[in-house]
Structure 1
Amino acid sequence: MIAVLMSGGVDSFVAAHLLKKSGADVVGVHFKTGYENADASRLQEIAALAGVPLVFLDCEREFKRKIVDYFIGSYLDGETPNPCIACNRLIKFGVCADYAVSIGAEAIATGHYCSAVRVGNRTVLGRGADTGKEQSYFLAFLSQAQLSRAVFPLGNMKKSDVKKLAHDLSFPFLTQAESQDVCFIRDTGYARFIEEHAGMEFSPGHIQDTEGNIIGRHHGVHRFTIGQRRGINIPSSRPYYVAAIDTRRNLLTVGHREDLFVSEFMVRNVNWLLEPPDGSLDLLVMVRYNQTAVNARVVPVDGGRARVFFATPQFGVAPGQAAVFYDGDTVLGGGIITRDFGRACCNKQKQ
């Protein structure tokens, strides 16, 4: 049996339909987070159209503790979180997969645009065929055990073909806008969500330039992420961007665009999907979803870390985001970007 995680969107619907059409024994699983956009009746309608039974799994407590609290905590630490990566590892292929196995499923399917292929005794994660939609970046932190159960029916499809198939199948919600951002934040925006859920007061503080000169005030460092331009509100002939966030001192450092180019950085919590390398590797590295992967040298060091050296300096590398390592279209692994990096403009270390 294959358990398909169904969100109420077109991708998971088509994934379920394709598996059912292939002759597989399929059950739909919808995990409840407490932040749903789709109600139960809509989900039941979609599952019935796909021809699969649907079960509901209450994940509200786990989702709050493992995803929402992590998201808030990262911003309070001055980092930029990636809750989708955490959700895939801890909820979808963690809590949900464990439940699916308990009801007899041998595999877990999702509507991600990527591929998982068994090669020898390991499963290889690869890019999806749709270069504009592919989502392997978000799955680079799965374990081999998790990846070995994964099925991605949309890996060889274009989004346009998925929508066409859904239209032909009379999918009733095709014209509704798809979620493009964090699923548990609807209309309030990140800053307001954090203010409402963090249980603490946020104080204004100073904004300094890269030379240490105080040039303005902010209304809470939780409102900013590295590379951000909007919200700085300091008159200048050239735009300022957020260069560093110091939550301990409640201090925001801003610079001009050229000040934010990074030549190297350290990652922590490195996850190797294939065998960990003995030495350095020349790979493609993606430091934010939907950015182009660029040439870099990845040098493993002790403590589950690696140092990444760009062939060409890159703009706006943000602590807390994931750096994912590719060998062509194959995902080798990834790590979480730390504050230990070198600026290209001045070769400053450990910003």
Structure 2
Amino acid sequence: MPSLTFDGLTKSFGSNTVIREFNATIDDNEFLVLLGPSGCGKSTMLRMIAGLTEITSGQLRFDATVVNDLTPKQRGIAFVFQSYALYPHMTVRANIAFPLLMDNFRWWHHLPIVGGIVRRQLMKRSDISEKVERTAEMLELTDYLERRPKALSGGQRQRVAVARSIVREPSLYLFDEPLSNLDAKLRMQMRAEISALHARVKKTFVYVTHDQVEAMTMGTRIIVMNAGIVQQLGTPREIYETPANVFVARFIGSPPMNIFPATVSHDGLSVDGVEVENSAALAAVLRDRGLESVSVGVRAEKFGVNDLNRPAAGGSPLLGFKGHTMLVEHLGAETVVGFKAGAAPQTVDVGAAASQHLHYARMPGEQHFGMSENCYLSFSGADVHLFHPETGERIEH
């Protein structure tokens, strides 16, 4: 059960560098999620951990052992592929047992007639059959051991792929977007099953996904990647509540964090040319740092939306500005309101509203806002995230 250390790990394909100076340390028994958009280098990183892709430079260590030149088998890993990669002509039992059979194969066992005889003999060995039965029971596959993959549902096939990977009791488990081929209901079920598996086997998991829901619900820590560069490493809560930069802020959250370009003056802040009330103290902090502009981030659920053009009275003064609604989505338990800063125009092109850049507020229950309705958007200063207007890096305040 190794800890993982990435020391300046780099991967290039010719002149194209897809992983740049990757540095991180992952403790034993962590559930690490590699999260990022398609093409950011997540799967390449996973394949380097597995030994399926050569490392260009830097070191990968399992505990204190450098594994750059070790084969996948020598690394003691289990790899669950996105496509399941099951053998269609084999039963579930044979698919699960296959890694154990290969561990006991010799070169002459691959001869056509000899191979079949040896496989049947190995399947009868008590140690192999017991491991297969125990693994099938763990993943609730006992009733399907004599079926072939074509007779299984998508979720059952995924469980077979997981079972085949864990039957050898590896020290490290690697998952490459294993749920992307499942529907929403099965994804939720398999998220719970993989999390429960991690709790049972108490080994290190490294899980690749572009789905932030999977990352936030399953991972003990998350590495957010973009263009081969680590943007942030932290717990799900740290990444959501204190994003390191604008990319992370926009990538995590649904709807994504609202980012407002703001100008700084002696009177306060203004976003999209609209004055932010009660923002003088915040503007003073930014002026002291020599900033004349800033990117202001506010999560959708942190907005209060009031249709009386003023925030509710009482309590500490909130920041706020006037806006108007452009989109209202009733989702049952909550309502998402798309808005723009400033008063509503006299005429609104309803057909173009969806294509315009909107900001979003998320509120519980059904709301009665309509299209192009003036409103007042309020939020607490404690819920404001500030980012440098040029670098996009987080500014503490």
Scaled by the length of structure 1, what TM-score is found?
A: 0.23
Larger CA Rg, structure 1 vs 2: 2
Structure with greater helix share of residues: 2
Scaled by the length of structure 2, what TM-score is found?
A: 0.21
